[in-house]
Amino acid sequence: EPPAVLQLGGSVPATLAEATRIARPWGYNEINLNCGCPSPKTGSSRTRFGAWLMEDPALVRDCVAAIAETADPSVDISVKCRIGVHKTMEDLERDGDSYNDLRKFVEVVADGGHVRHF
């Protein structure tokens, strides 16, 4: 029942575009790229996803563009993100979160023109 949101995880634009193409017949109202999952498993594989993508906003912009170019034009594209990314709790306690890093992430991804919601 609408609204229905599909959340994708990945860091290969062509693969995300293919997942979007496969899902298109189901009529999702929104497609969300997961840049928020903090699990260590998301950063340990060959293709990183989840919160680790926040370290590469240009890649996220490219991933979102691939999704948007494949999705129906009426589908909203969004990005789930975190306030910051830290490899360990000690890093978080020592460094805290950086507003400037979050702002840069949002600016770079938003400049691609496909995402209105973070």
Kindly list the catalytic residues: 37
Q: What angle is formed at CA 50 by the lines to CA 45 and CA 53, rounded to 5 degrees?
A: 85
CB 28 within 8 A of CB 5: yes
Query: Which residue intervals of 1-118 are DSSP H helices?
Result: 13-23, 57-70, 89-95, 99-111
